[in-house]
Structures are given as C-alpha cells and as structure tokens.
Structure 1
C-alpha cells in the first residue's frame, strides 16, 4: 500500500478501545510486546490499556506524518497465525475493527492484511447490508431459522459466513432430531438410509415412489453439505466468493430443507404401525 493519510483521532481512539478492551482485548503484556515488535514507542506504559495503546499509535502517526505504521500494528495484532486457536476472537475483533476502519476506506481481510474498501459515511454499512439480505429473505417467506444467519457480523465482508452457518444449522437440526453425533454425508446416511430402519422419514415410505423421494432428498442433503458447507469450511473466502443473489438462492434452498426436516417423522413409528 502507498502512503496512508493520518487517521482521524476518533478512529484511532475507537480502534484502541477495541484492542485494549478490559474484558476481551489484548493483555497489557501483549500490547507492550506488539508495540515493541512494530517499533512503536510505548510512551505511556503506565496508563490503562486502551489509553496506552491510543497514545502510542497517535504519537507514531504524528511522527511519521502518515498512518502506515498504525495499519502495520493492526495487521500484526490480527495476524491469523497468532490467533489460530481462537478463531471466534479473531473474527469478532476483525469485524469490530473493520467497522471503524470503514470510515478511512480500509478493511482487514481474513488473511490479516489491510485492503482498500469503499469509504463509509454512516455508522454501519454492514448493518445495512445485513438488513437488505434479511428483507429479501422475508419476502421469500423463508424458514424462521434462516433469518438467524443474516446478522451483520456474518455478512460484514460478503455472504460467505451466512451461508456457512446456515448449512451447519441443517446438520445440527438432524442431530437434534435423531440423537446422532456424526456429520456431513455420514450423518445423512445414518439418519435417512434404508440400511436399517431410518431414524427419520419424509413420508410414509410405503410405496417405491415414496422411498425414491426419501433417497432423492438424501442426495440433496449430501449435495448441500458437499457443495456449500464443506467448501466454505475449507476454502479461503477469496477463492469462494458468494454474491447476494447466490446467497439468496442458497439460503432459500436451506429454508426448504429446514421445512422438510421440521415435518420429518420417526420412521420406526411407521414400521410399528403407529402412524
């Protein structure tokens, strides 16, 4: 990146409050270590964490006449390798930092690197984006469980995580209804196949046509996990971009799956003649 204009002092303060948060921010030791590694003078080490960090970063950008070393510090603090064992903290903190950086036209990617982005002029363009997705899905009358995955923290970059979490919810619902603990294609086979009496059935399973419907829906579930969940779980987001229309279509399909699962019955009751 070229020379980055000095950040507004309010932006610096907000970033410092996130990274130096008393409850879930960096520790004082971590702040000192990171400042040292980034060659930023720790000019106020005796102050509270966020004020200490704010003063150090503000002083550095004033001395430099630019915000490049401030961004370098944020990138260093949010290096994915540093937080490999705490992805929830990484994602949550990056989300908060990006909401602030959006006012400077910047964003930290999942690789921990800064990139230019459209400059925000409102408090939360991410919230607006999430609201737009939710409105479209409500117009489609999707299953209520799907709306859960339109939270702004899930769509702050794109719709990748909303789709990922929604597909995960399908497996979770199957486990809740069956008591099984497997996942993916194995879970589908365990829950619906005819190797033994299925755990769940989508119909009465009396005719060949009904059995074929059960098998067809099994294939749909396996395709859902194989195409979307497994891909999003293992592929970097940059190589698996999901646009709004794709997200709407995928989430609508997941909605259909949820509705069918809600109506699925215990297959053993069919075979015992209780239904």
Structure 2
C-alpha cells in the first residue's frame, strides 16, 4: 500500500478562518452535534472551549501539530462538505462553500462542486487577491462583519454577483423579519408604523427600554431610518427594471447599505416584543 501523501501544514490563522465558517453561529454553520460526529469519525481529539469556533479551531490545529501535516483539516472539510450531507439543503452547501473560499484561497485551495478540496486558480497573498479568488461581494461582506440575516435574504443574488437584486432582497428581508417577529401582515411604512408606533401606548416592538425622552427619541429615529431605507432602497428597485438607467447603485454604495442593514438587524436582535391583548 503506497504511503499517504502528507500535505504541508497550514498557518493557524487559515485554520481559524475555516473554523469561523464551518462553526459559525446559526445558519449555515455546523451544529455542535455535527461537529461531535465529524471529529469522532475522523479520530480527531475534541477539546473544551467557550464556543464552537474556538473548539473546532483548537481540535484541528492540535491535530495538525501532532500530524505535522494539514491532512486532518482537509479531511474534516471534505467530510463536512460531502454532498450526501446536503441533499436537502443545497443553499447551505453553497453558503459554506462560498465562505470557505476566502481562507482556502490563502493556501491555494478551494472546495469544488463535488464538495472536494481542490487546487484553486492561484494562491492569495493580499486581501485584494482573496476577494478576487473568493468572490468580491461575499469576501467584503465577511470582512465588514455583516449580520448573517442580511446575507441570508440575498444569498443567491450574492453568489451571482447581482448587486441590483441583492440590494432589493436584503432590504425586503428587514420587512420579512419584522413580520416574523410580530405576526403582522403589513408592509413598508405601514408595517413600521404598526411595529414602532406609540398611539396605543407602548410600541409593539421596542429597541430600548422606552422609558425616557431620549430613549423615545432614539426609538422614533430608528423607525424613521427604516422608512427611509425602504423608500430609498426597496421601492425604486421594485418598480424599476435593472436595465433602466434611472436607478443605479454602485458597489461601494451597496456595501455601505449592507452595513446599514446589518446595524438594523443587530438592533432587532435585542428588541422586545410587547404582546397585544
């Protein structure tokens, strides 16, 4: 039986980047149960850690030190990306594959359509090269720490590098999240008024304690921010064909909008819902 090929060890930061993607909080990251199963299957020692990402990084990094090779990391990625694990959820496969593109580009690798670790077109040595090899939009959103809810609503459009539709879907996602949080069925400015209006006393959705004039002012400002965002970035694309020159958005503007939507989702993460009678 021919000896197993040993692949060069990866820098710890690359393994950390891989762990940040595969063990990301929420969708599309692996669950603790999935990580347990894969580590046991590959005979990689598990370690206690404060969170999934640190746990996976430590396990893979320590195994690489023992093996003096990156084979364990490659095997873990290959098993995590095995097509059979994603038959019922291709968007998750695509999101994980796209997320892994950035850290893997630093060692000249990628995950191909078969879920295998393969050679990339080149090896990135700068952040600009990472963006070129991994996909500018997703790499830049990741660098900015954009909220997962933003990416969730425009995943397909980002994969296609379609700014026009990505902006439209990501902005619509805020309305969808508000409806899921409250059970309301309204849309646009009406939805914002029903969620954050105070005519009936305490607002249905509160982004703060709403107990001082300053907090009430912040609350109203947030509602106005939502209305302005919908009016500027959701309504024009809804009524304007992409080919029409009357509504255009540059890539820097789109990236700034994604950051704004990320701020909105972070405030909604901690919002309180006041039950109605």
TM-score, length of structure 1 as denominator length: 0.48
Structure 1 or 2, whichever has the larger Rg, is 1
TM-score, normalisation: structure 2: 0.48
